[in-house]
Amino acid sequence: MTDSAHALQRIHQLRGILKGHNYRYYVLNAPAISDAAYDVLLRELEQLEQENAQPIPVDSPTQTVGFNPNPAFASKTHALPMLSLANAFSDAEITDFMRRNQQGLLENETITYIAEPKVDGLAINMYYAFGQLVYAATRGDGVIGEDVTDNIRSVSGIPWSLAADGVDIPEHIEIRGEVYMPKASFAALNKRQQAADLKPFANPRNAAAGSLRQLDASVTAGRGLAFFAYATGLAGDVFAQSQHQMLAQLAALGFATQETGLLQSEDAILQYYQTWQAKRPSLDYEIDGMVFKVDDFQQQQQLGAVARSPRWAMAYKFPAEEVETVVEAITWQVGRTGVLTPVANMLPVLVAGVMVSRATLHNIQELARKDVRIGDRVVIRRAGDVIPEVVRTLSLQAAHRAPATPVPKLCPVCASAVAQAEGEAALRCLGGLACSAQLTERVKHFVSRDAFDIEGFGAKLAEKLVEKGQIKRLSDVFKLDFAIINTWEGMGEKKIANLKQHIQDKRKISLARFIYALGIRHVGQTTARQLAQHFGDLAALQQANVEELLGIHDVGEEVSQSLLDFFTQAYNQDELVALLALGIEVLPDDTPEPSGNHPLVGKTVVLTGSFARMKRSAAKTQLQQLGVKVASAVSQSTDVLIAGEKAGSKRKKALDLGIDIVDEAQLLLWLQSDVA
């Protein structure tokens, strides 16, 4: 190595060392060296930078004072893209995964798999130069992430400098892993949130992500985050020859790593999965599955990758976690369309990382079938790891059970009569907008993203406006008394001005959005778009008869009757007149003209899971603009399921029905071209 190369290496090392000491001094208030020792290092860096011909970066310790929080996160481009993992939800999918890998290699070639618990956290990429941490970035879109270097220094399990006997460290290398919040840290954080009268975090994953993205690094430092390393990016191919060797070397360098297993047979893999599923509740951090990877890096390279995930790795997700608790009360919740839903209020319990105290009992038939009663010990789970539901009661044979929960004869909110239509499971309040519960939910729907999309008009504001009598009907959204609202706590001048402007900006709306915003029973976004494209304007829709409505694709007897009922009610007609009088302009939709050559013409598509490069709502809109029918549920009539991350029950159902399943990469190809 030349003298100039030695100098450059030392410059990188000193910058990393001094940034670390600045962080310890200014953020953690825990200096590791004396001021005199710090000054010696700083003077050495100043001299080397002056002697070196290269420009001095603005974030060099010689150019900065203190350690101030960044006003916003900068972007960092990963040297190698951070791919996502494909998911499996059944043993059969693991069988297929192993079969495909064997087909991709020589027929008799032995494949060893390494099994790693899948931590439910936030993926991070860290770049080291000459053994010093230079920056850390979130996954972002897989190519560009957020610079969270200052915050990552307070996360346990991450060394700032790399050095270990017997480990040959490349001059430039990316180390990757998962930042997570241990269960103890999560409990302590939520205790502090509640003591400060702040909203608790929903789960450790959200808490970890929010904590790592704090602009003030001292806030992150107090959140107790931790890290597990699981991969390399740049220079990973020269750092190790296999996954297990790479993890061993990372552990030797000071990175925290997890317990893993080396397995070859399908039986061994499936047994290992079951073992960890049983261990899951006893761990001090959250995992949501097991990751199985081909261990040998050369075999990984041969197998390659698809657009966004490697072929040689698969995440086998755990089923929804089931937990026991006790029902303290059963209450009735009134929804936007007046449906009464029984809800079990329970002793709070942690389910799949989320504290749950309420769970749906769906409807009166389910309540009777499961026979859940006050005082029962019940099993609950988060369906698809999202919506809490009661699975079953454990108290069917218990003595002295409470009596069965009575079905209400009056609405619990407005005391209006309730009724159950013939052939329906739903019990419905007949109070309409006279019922404040229905009005609140309708207002939330009216201003929501897919309807009028009024920014800053959230659920809590809608609830308060109805509660305080500021909104008594939907049209009141556009004639709020801001002088009164300005007296409410948390509603300052700037917030009021922004809300007023956002409402004003939304006085023009497409016909499809307007129909959807009205909250007509059985009329979702897809049906609203079909109606808008068929009738062209609001007046024509209002005057439509049953024959015209039934002639529209996807409009059956239920939907047509619901539309006729809505538009013949005097109250609804008055609301439409009031909205138009307030200056609401309903614009005709541009009717898409699908290309006859597009592969999705005449097909029904369902979107599920989350996508890395675009929002699901945006994907839905673009597909509809191509003339593709986008449905909300998987059925026999579904042609294609487009599955993103964490695709759950819909993916399983599509597999069971033999429906084609594609990923986000194929979706992007379809959206980029109108031809096959």
Alpha helices in 52-113 (DSSP H): 91-104
Per DSSP, what are the bridge partners of residue 180?
226
Cα(151)–Cα(70) distance, integer angstroms:
10
3-state secondary structure of 652: helix
Tell me whether residue 520 is exposed, middle or buried, using C-beta atoms within 10 angstroms of its C-beta: 0 to 12, 13 to 18, 19 or more: buried
CB atoms within 10 A of CB 441: 23
The contacts of residue 186 (CB under 8 Å, 6+ apart) are 201, 203, 204, 207
For the record, the structure tokens of 159 come out as: 């060394």
Alpha helices in 295-435 (DSSP H): 297-303, 364-370
Furthest C-alpha separation in the chain: 89
Q: Are 646 and 610 in contact (CB under 8 A)?
A: yes
Could you give phi then psi for residue 427, rounded to 5 degrees?
-100, 130
State the Cα torsion 529-531-537-538 to the nearest 10°.
-110
Give the active site residue among 76, 118, 444, 650: 118
Cα(166)–Cα(540) distance, integer angstroms:
79
Cα(488)–Cα(499) distance, integer angstroms:
14
Cα(77)–Cα(81) distance, integer angstroms:
9
Closest CA to 134 of 146, 145, 142, 126: 126
Could you give phi then psi for residue 391, rounded to 5 degrees?
-85, -50
Residue 204, H or E segment? helix 204-212
Q: Are 132 and 18 in contact (CB under 8 A)?
A: no
Per DSSP, what are the bridge partners of residue 645?
610
Distance of CA 294 to the CA centre of its chain: 28
Cα(17)–Cα(417) distance, integer angstroms:
72
Around 576, how many Cα atoms within 13 Å sit in the side-chain half-sphere? 19
Closest CA to 48 of 59, 60, 36: 60
Closest CA to 645 of 82, 76, 80: 82
510 vs 515, 590, 629, CA distance in Å? Answer: 9, 9, 19
Q: Are 404 and 371 in contact (CB under 8 A)?
A: yes
340 vs 332, 360, 645, CA distance in Å? Answer: 6, 11, 33
3-state secondary structure of 356: strand
Residue 620 catalytic? no
CB atoms within 10 A of CB 616: 16
R_g of the chain computed on alpha carbons:
29
Q: Are 274 and 290 in contact (CB under 8 A)?
A: no
Tell me whether residue 626 is exposed, middle or buried, using C-beta atoms within 10 angstroms of its C-beta: 0 to 12, 13 to 18, 19 or more: middle
Around 45, how many Cα atoms within 13 Å sit in the side-chain half-sphere? 21
Catalytic residues: 118
